[in-house]
Structure 1
Amino acid sequence: MTELRRQRFALPTGVELDVTLGGEGKGDPLVFLHGFPESARTWRHQMANLAADHAVAAPDQRGFARSSKPANVADYAVEHVVADLLALADALGFARFTLIGHDWGGAAAWAAALRHPDRIARLVIANAPHPLIFQKSLIDDSAQRAASQYMLAFRDPGMEARVAEMGIEAFFDKSFAAHVQAGAIDAGERAIYLDQWRQPGALTGMLNWYRASRIVVPAIGETVERPDWIDAPFPPLAMPALVIWGMRDKALLPCQIEGLGPLVPDLSIVPIEDAGHFVPWERPAAVTAAIRAFLAETRPSD
């Protein structure tokens, strides 16, 4: 395993991000994006391994841990997150790189790859749905709609008050630890995350990712107008992509990997049957092995 280091970057997007860095290998650089309610530590096992032959970087994204926490919900829209990513890549001298994302970090990774194929050489996704499939399933698939009702709760402006009432430790156990297989979060990791969550503005910053999302989440039984874009032609992904999926995910159901073929022409799917949503934590060796095999088998797109 290769030692990793931490560095803070002031970006032209107006935020400062704490970033985990490592490696100076000859392989193309790898950038890792975490999701809710985490930090760059999501990817610590994979980064330590892959840094042996790649430059690696993982920011604590805006709103999380000790990185900047802009005040407005609109500041967490995906275009700002993608701008952070590209600004960080510029600061690191990564003209083109392989992008790896989980959860909301995966949502940002899908967006970056679709909008900036000139910068993203390859894409790796772990339990983060393609935007078209996700939006369709929230409207048309009753099981996925039911599984996603928590998003409405997280968007509620009163959520912070409810967390304050229950206590941050109880919220951690309910929203995170309860969805990670037993033993994946030890006492030391729990303490690190609770410290990150207790940073001023961190809870609101994390929740603002849900509030800023333009994804329509209908209530159970609600009839909503279908967004025009989900039934219109959708651009295919330009680069090779690997989708790793913990098949026991109770929030993002396996329907999210159905129908990906036409949207991702150069696609590899690795289902991990004995893992849930937080697959990088629960099966770190399997995730690392899948990424390594994908990197070995594919060329970065030109």
Structure 2
Amino acid sequence: MPHAVTRDKVRLYFEEAGSGTPIIFLHEFAADHTNWEPQMRYFSRGHRCIAYSARGYTPSDLPASSEVYTYRHFYTDALAVLDHLGIAKAHFVGLSMGAYSSLQIGLNAPERALSMTLAGVGSGSELERLEQFRAQCRANAEQFETLGSAGVARVTREAPSRISFMLKDPRGHADFYAALARHDSKGSANTMRSFQGARPSIYTMTEAIRKVATPALIICGDEDEACVGPSLFLKRHLPASGLSMFAKTGHVLNLEEPALFNETVERFIALAEAGRWGARDPRSILA
């Protein structure tokens, strides 16, 4: 099986398909590389597409120490995959945890990003509830260690941001949680504790975000309440950003509305490649 090796010698499993300008897909916490299959099949018709499983997600390596699961490890891991493949620049398409990592690429390695798609981004960012969110992440990590991934999948399958997916596509929703039940529980616990529960709030990065010139598409489901505020915040402060709100949609955007997701991202990438997705014209901003 193909693996890229990170700076700290962690092997990351990846798959690729197609040829053309590269697109790399970064998955959310409850997913892995397989959850990008609808996008891999669609976008590989015109692009070189790469999807990989993050550290802590089989068949990638499962480091034992939670200290190597920080947000810095995750965004530099994405670059390690590109380095392994000899790719200088790519379009980054991320969901949730993967969107946060994609944003970090824009902040810390903008020369590697042709564009950023930030879907379902920013949950847990509210500063007034940040400590409560981090405490919940620590509790969730303990759940993985005590209940195992199958137990966590059973108790989280009706989380508020997943209800619309369950109502629209019960079969897809069931498949999603069956896959979560197979995740390595220790890898999930480490990711929950050190990435999800320790990453900085995007609201603390305002000045840095204002300097990011990379074309950015922000996508949010209108029933993914934890991400609505952060998505609006990013729209206001990322200079070359656009915001697409999916009606009656929750967190798992690429699986809940695959056709709409693909169409929206495809149009964005085409405009970015044509140089037609620039910074907002200041004349459109209310004084």
TM over 0.5: yes
When normalised by structure 2's length, the TM-score is 0.82
Match of 1:286 in 2: 260
Question: 2:219–2:231: 8 Å Cα contact kept in structure 1?
Answer: no
Question: 2:69–2:191: 8 Å Cα contact kept in structure 1?
Answer: no
Q: Secondary structure at the match of 2:181?
A: helix
Match of 2:17 in 1: 22
CA spacing shift, 1:83–1:230, aligned 2, 3 Å: closer
Residue 95 (str. 1) matches residue 88 (str. 2): yes
Q: Secondary structure at the match of 1:259?
A: helix
Match of 1:41 in 2: 34
Residue 202 (str. 1) matches residue 187 (str. 2): yes
Of 182, 185, 191 in structure 1, the residue corresponding to residue 172 of structure 2 is 185
Match of 2:198 in 1: 213
Q: Which moved further from structure 2: 183-192 or 41-50?
A: 183-192
Partner Cα distance (2:144, 2:274) in 1? 43
What runs of 5+ residues in structure 2 fail to find an aligned partner?
Answer: 279-287
Residue 138 (str. 1) matches residue 144 (str. 2): no
| Cα offset, 1:124, TM superposition | 0.5
| Cα offset, 1:23, TM superposition | 0.7
Partner Cα distance (1:10, 1:102) in 2? 23
CA spacing shift, 1:86–1:203, aligned 2, 3 Å: closer
1:143-182 matches, cutoff 5 A? 145=129, 149=132, 151-156=134-139, 158-164=142-148, 168-176=149-157, 178=159, 179-180=162-163, 181-182=165-166
CA spacing shift, 1:188–1:271, aligned 2, 3 Å: closer
Residue 264 (str. 1) matches residue 264 (str. 2): no
| Cα offset, 1:65, TM superposition | 2.6
| Cα offset, 1:202, TM superposition | 2.9
Question: 2:117–2:217: 8 Å Cα contact kept in structure 1?
Answer: yes
The ranges of structure 1 where at least 4 consecutive aligned residues each deviate by more than 6 angstroms after the TM superposition are none
| Cα offset, 1:211, TM superposition | 5.9
Cα RMSD (Å) of the superposition? Answer: 2.9
Residue 86 (str. 1) matches residue 79 (str. 2): yes
Amino acid in the other structure paired with 2:98 = G
Question: 2:17–2:50: 8 Å Cα contact kept in structure 1?
Answer: yes
Please state which structure has a larger fraction of its residues in helix.
2
Question: 2:219–2:244: 8 Å Cα contact kept in structure 1?
Answer: yes
Match of 1:222 in 2: none
Question: 2:23–2:92: 8 Å Cα contact kept in structure 1?
Answer: yes
1:105-120 matches, cutoff 5 A? 105-120=98-113
Residue 298 (str. 1) matches residue 272 (str. 2): yes
Aligned pairs, how many?
269
CA spacing shift, 1:295–1:158, aligned 2, 3 Å: closer
Of 114, 117, 127 in structure 2, the residue corresponding to residue 121 of structure 1 is 114
Residue 249 (str. 1) matches residue 224 (str. 2): yes
What runs of 5+ residues in structure 1 fail to find an aligned partner?
Answer: 1-5, 140-144, 217-226
Of 53, 56, 65 in structure 1, the residue corresponding to residue 58 of structure 2 is 65
Match of 2:3 in 1: 8
Q: Secondary structure at the match of 1:68?
A: coil
Question: 1:239–1:300: 8 Å Cα contact kept in structure 2?
Answer: no
When normalised by structure 1's length, the TM-score is 0.78
